[in-house]
Copies of this chain bind each other. A is one copy, B any other.
C-alpha cells in the first residue's frame, strides 16, 4: 500500500527530466526534510509523512494536496474541522453520498457554488 511513494517518485522524476532542480536532495531541502527521509518515503520504506510535510511536498511537486494526503491515508485537518463543527449534518451528508456517482456529487457542488440557498 505504498501508492504514496511511487506517486511522489513519479511526479518528481517527471519534473526532474526538464529541470534538474528537482533532484531528491534539492526537493528535500526545499520542503525541509532530510534527503535520506525523502528517499525512504519515495520507496515506501517508511510511512507517509505528516500532514504538514505532505502538503509542502504536494505544492513543491505541483500536485493536489488533498489527493496526496489521501494517498497517505490522511484527510486534511481543515476538512475535518468543518465536519467536527457540525458532525451530525456532515456525517449524514457524507454517508448519503458514499455510493453516489461522481456526476451526482459534482452536480451538487455546482448547485452549492451557484449559491441558491
- Residues of A at under 8 Å CB distance from B? 64, 66-67, 69-70, 73-76, 78-80, 82-98, 100-109, 111-113, 117
Tell me whether B83 and A75 are in contact (CB under 8 A). yes
Smallest beta-carbon distance A72→chain B, Å: 9
List B contacts of A109 (CB < 8 A): 89, 92-93, 96
Q: Is the interface of A mostly helix, strand, loop or mixed?
A: helix
Q: State the oligomeric state as a number of copies.
A: 2
List B contacts of A107 (CB < 8 A): 117
List B contacts of A103 (CB < 8 A): 117
List B contacts of A74 (CB < 8 A): 84
List B contacts of A84 (CB < 8 A): 70, 73-75
Smallest beta-carbon distance A94→chain B, Å: 5
A17→B35 CA distance, assembly (Å): 60
Name the contact of A112 in the complex, choosing from B75, B93, B102 (C-beta under 8 A). Answer: B93
